[in-house]
Copies of this chain bind each other. A is one copy, B any other.
Amino acid sequence: MAEQSVRRGRPGYDLESLLAIAVKLFNERGYDGTSMEELSRRLGITKSAIYHHVTSKEELLRLAMDRALDGLFAVTLEARSQEGRAIDRLEHVVRRSVAVLVERLPFVTLLLRVRGNTKVERAALARRREFDQLVTDLVKQAAADGDLRSDIDPSVTSRLLFGMINSVIEWYRPRGDITQDALADAVCTLAFSGLRVH
């Protein structure tokens, strides 16, 4: 596991460590609300030094969102190559999505808040829509199988379902006492069985 290659050159930030701090700040203040000046202060280096690692502010955003999108797309690839009932595959997608959300929390957070102001943002939104489509298809299939209630429109169901999942970024912090598995269990229980005692 020791991928500890010796760092050459002057010590300091590399792209990864810089990106981590940048994304954290973007999530605190919002992407548009964060200036490069402010970021440089947080990093403890000058504004111009940032441009040694990255060609523009927007590239920071792109890099971050790609990390989130790559994780989510790995889930869809998994789901597509899977067998079994749609409802079971749906539950698997939900569990894996929660995992990606938790493991790449800052990146996904940034992704979910993008408004589509620039080309980069619109491209990210387009990839997100692809993901949503897969989930909606699964919900439709499971409803057709008779495993999911058919009294609610599948697209409404999938939107509310992923609304619940995505809301995790607003409050979940890995440091806390809730493990990733416990969170996934809570989400699945609530989503599939509801919160009322029957």
Contact = CB atoms under 8 A, between A and B. Distances in A.
Given A28-B115, A170-B163, A186-B156, A194 B191 contact: yes
A171 B194 CA distance: 22
A193 B194 contact: yes
**Copies of this subunit:** 2
Given A167-B162, A198-B198, A189 B151 contact: yes
B164 A187 contact: no
A32 B186 CA distance: 35
Interface stretch (A46-54, A71-79, A141-149): A141-149
Interface in A20-41: 28-30, 32-33
Interface residues of A, number: 44
A1 interface: no
A161 interface: yes
Contacts of A28: 115
